[in-house]
Structure 1
């Protein structure tokens, strides 16, 4: 009988000690929506920082999305006042070492509460020995900034740019 009372007392004391600790709820991870053409599939190995990577090996098209939560950026004292400011910060280092690159003027659109900036980039990839076309996009939502990079061989630009734009403009959180 003494053992049962002792065990009951220990259990009650343990529960009381745990109950006195206040807990703060947090959510982990970030969910966002994106649409891809049906000829593309999710993949891995393009960029280790990406949230999603996509490709069509047959059509030789590739892309990925990286996001930065605004809350996380504030924690490291990176405060961007606009999608344009975020875009400028990203683009100043994009393909920095490439000698033969051209970057079009960015086009910005606001759709409801989402700002999208897109630009075309052409460069020569020495390793692949070919010209590459990138559609680079930045999407700003209430919660995050997204970097969306889609690319193909330059000669396929006109054929796939519209699909790359549909991917870019499909981002929502």
Structure 2
């Protein structure tokens, strides 16, 4: 029995070390392969590609409908969804909704303001507008300092306007791994699809 437990320990340790080594030898700019992802269905509402080497978690954000991470690769992904009507009503009541801007612009600006209350944004790219699976979307990235974390973090944000809900796909990593994970994070965000 002891030999079996020792063998089990050695096998699991080897798998963990290989995972760490693989993540350290992954080259920046490597184009991810489709077979490296699983399509995840969330509440029969939407689906999104998630790398196979990320595990489901619950500790990243209490409001998130999807949370995955790989602490060895320093890769984290969440999706937050909100009702569009409730958001518009609330922000119009507070006189904070700008009717001269699109809904997605209003939502993006509000989320960035909320984020800036919790982190110190050092650098932010210009937001781009795109279509993801026939849905209006806006994307940008930011580098920021977070209290208690020594290294700068890099966030990749995608805001997707659905029929009744708006979705925030947030991927992040340390700045030193930003280029290593960029293509993977783009694949994740651009795979978002509502289920009919």
Shorter-chain TM-score bucket reads: 0.7 to 0.9
Given that 1:108 and 1:115 are in contact with CA atoms closer than 8 Å, whether structure 2 keeps it comes out as yes
Unaligned runs of 5+ in 2: 1-42
Structure 1 residues 103 and 67: alpha-carbon distance in aligned structure 2, compared to 1, 3 A threshold: same
Is 2:186 the counterpart of 1:165? Answer: yes
**1:90, distance to aligned residue in structure 2 (A):** 1.2
Instruction: Answer yes or no: is the 8 Å Cα contact 1:113–1:142 preserved in 2.
Output: no
- CA distance in 2 between partners of 1:91 and 1:100 (Å): 9
Alpha-carbon distance, 1:158 to partner: 0.7
In 1: Cα distance, 2:183 partner to 2:105 partner: 22
RMSD: 2.3
| Aligned positions of 1:15-164 closer than 5 A | 31-73=45-87, 76=90, 81-99=102-120, 101-111=122-132, 113-164=134-185
Aligned residue pairs: how many? 145
- Structure 1 gaps of 5+ residues are 1-28
The separation in 2 between residues aligned to 1:151 and 1:34, in whole angstroms, is: 16
TM-score (norm 2): 0.65
Structure 1 stretches (4+) deviating beyond 4 angstroms? 74-81
Equivalence for 1:10: none
Question: In the aligned structure 2, how far is the partner of 1:158 from the partner of 1:65?
Answer: 21
Deviations 1:103-160 (A, max 9, x none): 1111110245301211111012331211111101111122311011111110111110
Q: CA deviation at 1:93?
A: 2.1
Name the structure with the higher helix share: 2
Distance apart, 1:98 and its partner CA: 3.6
Contact 1:119 1:135 in 2 (8 A): yes
Normalised by the size of structure 1, how large is the TM-score? 0.73
The higher radius of gyration belongs to 1
